[in-house]
Structure 1
Amino acid sequence: MFKKPLSDLKTSAPIRGSDRRRLKQRVIDRYEITPEVGEQLVPDGMLSQKFSTHLDELGVVYLSQGGDPLWFTIGKGSDELIPTVYTLWKHPSLLPIVSTPAAVIPKLIGGADLMIPGVVQHVSTLEAGQLVAVTQYHPSISKHNPNDSNNPTLVPRIGPPLAVGRMALSSAELRSRANQDGEERKGKAVLVLHTWKDWLWDMGSGKKTDVPKPREIEVGDAEGGPVLVESDDEEEGEGGEGQAEGDENGASKPDDVPAVVEDAAPRPSEPEACPKVILTPEDVSHCLRSALLQALVTTLNSLPPSSFPILASTFWTTHILPARPAQALGTHGLADPSEIDIKQSTHKSVKVFLKACAKEGLVKLKENKGDVLISGVFPAHPAVAAHRPHKTVGAVQAKLERAEERERKEREAEEKKRGEIQVTELWKPFGSTVGLFVTAGKSSQEYYTLSDIREFFNAYISERNLVNAREQQYVNVSEDDALSGAVSVKGEERPEFLKREDALKRIKENMQSWHRIGIDGGDVVTKKGAVKPISVVVKVRQGRKAATLVTGFESFFLKADYLAEELRKVCAGSTSSKASTDMEVMVQGKQIQAVTDFLISKGVPEKWIEAEDQTKKKK
């Protein structure tokens, strides 16, 4: 939800004392905490700030006096207070817990939801829609038992909350789905709302804060607390589309420990979240033979006869190694690709392995001056037909590379957007539209975006039943005096009904145009009037010489002298600036592309650059 910058962040405002006390009481009642803890989580000096997400979802964030976001709401008119990671670090037992392997956490931070295979532990009493805290899974540790030195005590650990989300299904359904195979065990477990290191987190001082260490839970201290059930699945969840889940039932007291760990199925000494399997030479040979069968089913089956013969080394690296199983055959553990190596097998060399496969009838070999060549393969062999396809090392690696590439592009896009000048078109109630906003209980002094106006308009006509019963796309504007006045046009008779979009357009046109321009982390300027794009026009000057004229750039924080000097270097030609009606920079020659690229590099959105070559029209 906050993986991208907020599209519209209003100015923060202090909360009155009475409002803060009501806010604190809502937190105390909702999360069943003591007034002392409520005072800690809703401190004095709090601020409120309205925002819109990149998906145009409206919300309010409540900040500490130091600027750390502590609570937020999502949805217009929503009163559900959702704790941020900052708040959960202060009081980790505020929400129920769902844990996931370390490899899934970056996926959650990247904007994914937690999938069912990615859940390692979860509270046993969760309901669909319940808020949860997502933590990184940490295995229990052994500690000396003073009562029995031969049997050390296993102490469960819970990592700090790293995400907040909403359960997509109940814990009972989660357990049931986790025990299924194939398509049945897929799906989302937690719909992630906010994570550590997302844009909401970055509003605060968290960049200088270290992540808290896992908490150790003494079993004797957790009596009566909620139970964390551990999943049977030993694999790390795949974060691709989904992420982690975590939630409690909200019943938490100041010093309560949230959970004790109960194993759904005993884990072998619990060394780590996803144990690696130790393979014997026979296991390695079996995996390599299975890799050949997999390659015969896939890549080798589609090769034309002209591809042969193939050098043994090329055959090995191109077809066998990528087809190795990602999960050790016959086990529930992950295979280490470095262990599925020919030197760890019973064959000890590629040549011996291939000869054994040739003897079985899977491939055909020939030798040429000491080199082994594969002259043919046999995908129709009975062993190939009986082979059960497996997830391969190559597929896992390709998926990781795609995920890394996707994350890299997202980071680049976010970095580009951070440096980009943000332009927001605004409208303010004016003239005949003031009455409409006052009637609806809205401020006539605020600035509204187009999405704000659309949402307000749709809510207004819905609440007053102004939608035409026969034609849903029409609005009966004459039935409401305030709306009728807001859509009226001077010199024309007031309409009886209008199409929804036409009515919205008239309201916008009757409002006063404003705009806001700012750079991320810098000053924000709000001005009256519609924003004017930068004009880049090629004209013929002084006879037949062409020149590129640039105007309208001052609104985008660019100075004429600076622009002229920089364009002189970029375009390798003479430039000048002068003041007429607006400041103007002239560049010698036809330089539309060079000027446009330079403006974009300085953060001007391409949308707000208008280019025109007037010399082409004259021809």
Structure 2
Amino acid sequence: MFKKPPQSIKPATPLRSSDRRKLRGRIVDSSGGDATKLSSEDADAVCPDGLMAAKFVAHAGESGTLYLDPTTNDPLWISLGKGGGVMDGELVPTLYTLFKRPNLLPWVSTPSAVIPVLVGGADLMIPGVIHHPESLGERQLLTVRQYIHPEEKGDAVRISAPLAVGRAALTFGPNALEGKKGKAVLVIHTWKDALWGLGSSWPDGKMPEGSALVKGGSEVEVNGSDEEGENDLDLGDVDSGVKELSILDPAPDEEKSLAAQTRSPQDVSTLLRSALLQFLSTQPPLQPASFPIPATTFYTSYILPFRPAALLAEPDPTLLRSIDLKHSSHKSLSQFLKSLQKEGLIKLKPAPSQGGKKSSGGGGEVLIVSVDKAHKDVVGHRAFGTVRDWEEKAAKRGGSVGGGAAAGGEVGGGVVVTELYKVSGGSGALTELFESLTPHPTRPPGTYTLPEIKAHIMSYIDAKNLVNANERGWVNVGEDAVLCAALGGGNTIPEFMKREEVITKVVGRMAGLWEMVSGVEGRERVVRKTRPTIHITTKAHHGGRKHTTYVTGLEPWDAVLRGLGAENMGEEWRRVCAGATSVQPVTGGGEATKGTMEVSVQGKQSKVVMESLVKKGVPKKWIQVG
């Protein structure tokens, strides 16, 4: 249910004292017999004074209410159903509550290898159950715990703290599971799912201690025999555990592979909004002189790099590319920013036109004039690892993925393609302008992405107090010799320039490069002076009676994907197209075409050639058919 973040969560409000007492009484009454009955002290721990309530809608459309700890903001209880009262809906304890009171619900145990798949969103199947209650009705709540086999003979068998909570999919009883197949537990909430992520993740990220299991007791029934070879799995390693097991049945929306999943436009919009909250809640405040900020600069510098790093763990690397405005519920960047302004997170103003008048609806790019770091959603935001954090760590480890994802670089087939700009060796003014900008450790020296350049120039302008006092969108270029020289110097540089004009002119004096990095370890990092475009052209000859298809530009893609060399592809197209092929060097063009090979294929084969390249991992964006 909480494999993905909820569609919406309304602001939390304190429960009235009378409602809190009713809820507390309901919790105590439902806590079971004498052995599991909650004491007054325990009841106060799981239903504290000042309890907060927040209505939510889950990603699949289920609605309910979250009850949150007023101190830590941890979700303690879930009330499932549309009823808004404390006595309405099915009341489910979260793991934050079950960690405090592990025996609040009956439980089943399962092998260590099953836990990672439950965390991934699957239900528990009958063959995966080791111990279960002697008596429990269908749809009753219960927890799932990890069975920990003794490492040495004589050691006590142990079970972990609860790692999942759900409903019984059948009636449990003596020998109730023998010879049966199917689901045993319909999982509602697990450790490390989206609901868990709303809280504080427990002190220091440590799990509570498990407990010893008394064999032969009356509380549980053993399903099958204990296998002496069962090994424990360190809970800290759950994330990297088993992904598929025959004893598991995928959840309904797990039927398709992860690589084939698509997020809804609303999911994408929520992720982009979370990225802005992450920036506002974790980064130093922007200086007043930084404003106004053009919409595109704000989006590429302060939103895209702060998308959740968990997206990079997706099996399909192209999924990160789908977390952008094109795949969101917003038609344009301005519409997205206006929705943020409506929430009070930012303030906008239309960009002035060339004549100095404000543009109407379809005019220039809107400007961000302020942000609200004190907004309740920013204050209540729970920090997460970001794409930028992940790339910085990967760079320090000498990882193979560069900064293209955070900077909006194109990802395709496991390859990140990033446009870079290099400070040429003969430009002392540009070198001086960028000397304080720390270079990316895995890129060629003096090369930067466009967002890095924009952010650095804006910081430089702020640090030198070059913002025009009368019109904050303009820069007093003439007051700084270094900036003036970096723009070209001489009498052609005006005394005042717009921020975007400054950035455009500086970038125009830098050499353009294209970096290609494969996500596969050991593959080559390719930096080119020209766009890595594969060109496919078809030409007629013999009076138009015959045609030949020509392909060039395979070399850079062969370096990062392997197997796309001219000779290999020529042989493949000979078989696929059932026609003659040949490979020869490209003539003419000087240094630009040195070492470039051309593959010629008999016939009109543009479609076949392009489809074969796409299958090998080359995105269509980088294939030009003409």
Q: TM-score range by the shorter chain?
A: 0.3 to 0.5
Q: TM-score scaled to structure 1, two decimals?
A: 0.40
Q: TM-score scaled to structure 2, two decimals?
A: 0.39
